Structure 1
């Protein structure tokens, strides 16, 4: 395949480390605040997930940040626990006091940061960077150095400062695309050029302002980066960061690069972080979204049922997901038959055609049919009598404030058209009264039981009505109907039971 030919030309590493910054940069998502206890829960899950480094926060920011870092460090996790610090003495001391074993220190290097934020020249920035790294190493701590806004920094200065911190003892350098302005091709060239100046491992931290964070991170790896900063669900400042689940699976499936991530825990971890932060994932979110392995279109469903790889680049089980076949207007007959087989529901051809038509009609109305919906629809069709002595020809109902609920029903009874209008305490009661008045000459019918249930949540849920009717001769029958309208479902269920009684006489 084309991708395999391209990979032969790449000098990609065998393994990439994952530096998770959900608890630091992810918490900087607007509107998100994570308590120390919640940080501990997430950190434990990230440890199980297998990330190599957890950036637990910015210890200098608050006492709560320092406490959370100390508590997470005390858990004895397998992963390295990292604290963020500016190249300032107070920041570095706060991180050291948090007992972390890894400090990620940074300073802005671009002309914009030098002029407007720091008001420093290149020499001052370089000096402070070297001093910070030396201070960290004097305390026996792993040191990672970031040139903030590296992707808008002059290459010559970037190479110079990275080379200087390497000489000062930095264990790894990080290249942040702080405002997400890079393109994959430019990221590849930048990492290639930086590698000419340093020998220590290179990490990359990409933001998603143009939706390119994952692509830029992968391009950096292609150029030789050995570590990627990422967050669960791509959380972070503005448009967020590199999505951990996306970059890990792309590395694994598309590049054949190993990570230490237990990918089967990705969906569960995503859901935990979503619940704690309150940031819901869109259904079409890659890898972990509800629709990531959902199929509706008939052609796709047919292919997936025959061979999953036809429309799935990876197995859902690999990331802790499940495949879903969605019923809707694009659904083909094979998909419905497959679902019925899963439920153990048997139908003859006429019954199946009736069910298929109902699914299509509901789909045309914009309704997505869930598994529960389909089972209820199928049970309704199967329970329907083969012939009808009483058939609904028309039905209207009037109700509202200061209006006595009134139903008008037109029935075909043994070939004769009859119409009646009756009132009731509500529209359902009025409709049943009208039906009883019309069939009274044929059978004296009494409603014994009436149950209604919404199959799924939402105002557009299908209503399933179940009734038991009896006549004066002791015959009884159940009736069932599943449609969107509660009143119509009630009418159809009652007529279903009436036909069973009349046919069984």
Structure 2
């Protein structure tokens, strides 16, 4: 069975606090909605403002394949504005709970039905498609709700919609409600859910199983309070989990429209959001990465390509060598097993210190490991620095030189200068000159990796060396020792 999708991102979605779309932005979203196969687009609420009406007119002038609707109250003034915007139809919203009828409209059931029927008559007289949406239907008396629907259908309503306005349905209750309505309602029944209890998608899927043939959604689930039914979660769930149902949506385009709406509304997507969150197809765990590489179905319920995504392996302390090797190959690096394990170990040391390891960090770590293909005469074992406003910067170092440990100390104008002086005062360093010193922070933040590049000279020989660490002093000392080792090898 084919399920129709009405997207209300441009109306209910725009009611997200802080969101206000320009006419051009609305047109861009509407164009993409039509392109990916949305059946019905609620372009706005014509009564809202002259600017809103101009936006709706811009959309209706495009001759989209999708049916274009405007929200409308059961009032002639609202409907006239919809007619002026040249929409195909109206989402005619009529409150049906006693709470809304009594406290909001200050009327009674009989007058409410009369108001609804008159509005439907007026719409049909002007050639509009009518979808009658019962506001607060989930808290309405069932028999009265059914009476409102049947009366509207008798007056020509084309579709009806159950609105769970404050999100109080549960999946079981949703299934039962739609199944009961389906017994007596002959026109298509739609489901419009809100996410106040985090159940909008679950309730929507239950509604489909109960008999709903249309769902209302917003891109990324944006909307008032906790938002509306998530378009991407609902559509993909119908496609992957409900075998007997389908939609007209081009699922491979879902990620593109999700990112578009996030950019234009400024409502960005939490990383762990299903389908479109940045972590939805990201793997760090070594066990998971290994399984994914062997067969993606081991830890993914769908391929990322299905929804326009790409899989990624996250660099961190939980990463195993299989996922790491895959990421290194993506970066154009080939390593042997020993080098791979060393890179993995270095990443875990940094991650244990709370450092987020980026691709840039990975490249630097890998570069350093790949340079280790020789026996060095000198290695740093320990470095201690004392520095302060009233203290001469002092460094003590412990190095291994030709297999023997050597302790030494030095002072300088700063901690880096003191550390280098502590090393180069040893005899083996005395004919080596530091002729250039350069520092770059290669990643953002106060925990950035520091890349120190130096040039050393011994006689007529000049070499470059680098050290990369989160600590500038360690990076400087490692660069210096690496350069000396290179000179000694040469």
Q: What TM-score comes out, normalization by structure 1 length?
A: 0.92
Match of 2:217 in 1: 230
Match of 1:94 in 2: 81
Match of 1:488 in 2: 474
Change (3 A) 1:334 1:167: same
Residue 457, structure 1, aligned to residue 438, structure 2: no
CA contact (8 A) 2:321 2:341 kept: no
SS in 2 for 1:61: coil
SS in 1 for 2:132: strand
User: How far off is 1:366 after superposition?
Assistant: 3.0
- 5+ residue gaps, structure 2, are none
Match of 2:410 in 1: 421
Residue 128, structure 1, aligned to residue 122, structure 2: no
Match of 1:4 in 2: none
Q: Aligned equivalents of 1:478 and 1:385: distance in 2?
A: 17
User: How far off is 1:417 after superposition?
Assistant: 1.1
CA contact (8 A) 2:408 2:423 kept: no
Match of 2:463 among 469, 477, 480: 477
CA contact (8 A) 2:8 2:42 kept: yes
Match of 2:340 among 352, 362, 378: 352
Match of 2:363 in 1: 375
Change (3 A) 1:349 1:204: closer
Q: Aligned equivalents of 1:289 and 1:79: distance in 2?
A: 27
Residue 393, structure 1, aligned to residue 381, structure 2: yes
User: How far off is 1:341 after superposition?
Assistant: 3.2
Change (3 A) 1:303 1:86: same
Match of 1:307 in 2: 295
Moved more, 166-175 or 338-347: 338-347
SS in 1 for 2:316: coil
SS in 2 for 1:60: coil
Q: Aligned equivalents of 1:465 and 1:75: distance in 2?
A: 58
Residue 79, structure 1, aligned to residue 72, structure 2: no
User: How far off is 1:407 after superposition?
Assistant: 4.3
Q: Aligned equivalents of 2:390 and 2:9: distance in 1?
A: 57
Match of 1:277 among 265, 271, 289: 265
Moved more, 407-416 or 380-389: 407-416
Match of 2:2 in 1: 15
Matches within 5 A, 1:193-212: 193-212=180-199
CA contact (8 A) 1:162 1:197 kept: no
Change (3 A) 1:468 1:34: same
Residue 182, structure 1, aligned to residue 174, structure 2: no
CA contact (8 A) 1:385 1:496 kept: no
Q: Aligned equivalents of 2:241 and 2:258: distance in 1?
A: 21
Change (3 A) 1:214 1:22: same
- 5+ residue gaps, structure 1, are 1-13
User: How far off is 1:416 after superposition?
Assistant: 4.3
Q: Aligned equivalents of 1:25 and 1:100: distance in 2?
A: 17
Q: Deviations over 1:60-82 (max 9, x none)?
A: 01111111101111122222211
User: How far off is 1:185 after superposition?
Assistant: 0.7
Match of 2:93 among 95, 101, 106: 106
Q: Deviations over 1:389-408 (max 9, x none)?
A: 22212223455667665544
Moved more, 47-56 or 150-159: 47-56
Match of 1:11 in 2: none
Q: How many residues align?
A: 488
SS in 2 for 1:173: strand
User: How far off is 1:95 after superposition?
Assistant: 1.2
Residue 28, structure 1, aligned to residue 15, structure 2: yes
CA contact (8 A) 1:418 1:438 kept: no
Residue 46, structure 1, aligned to residue 5, structure 2: no
Change (3 A) 1:262 1:458: farther
Q: Aligned equivalents of 1:81 and 1:339: distance in 2?
A: 45
CA contact (8 A) 1:172 1:200 kept: yes
Q: Aligned equivalents of 2:81 and 2:444: distance in 1?
A: 49
Match of 1:337 among 306, 310, 325: 325
CA contact (8 A) 1:411 1:417 kept: yes
SS in 2 for 1:196: helix
Q: Aligned equivalents of 2:150 and 2:450: distance in 1?
A: 69
Q: What TM-score comes out, normalization by structure 2 length?
A: 0.95
Moved more, 212-221 or 314-323: 314-323
Q: Aligned equivalents of 2:228 and 2:429: distance in 1?
A: 73
Match of 1:499 in 2: 485
Change (3 A) 1:120 1:401: farther
Change (3 A) 1:387 1:163: same
Match of 2:434 in 1: 446
Q: Aligned equivalents of 1:127 and 1:114: distance in 2?
A: 13
User: RMSD across aligned C-alpha pairs, in angstroms?
Assistant: 1.9
User: How far off is 1:327 after superposition?
Assistant: 1.6
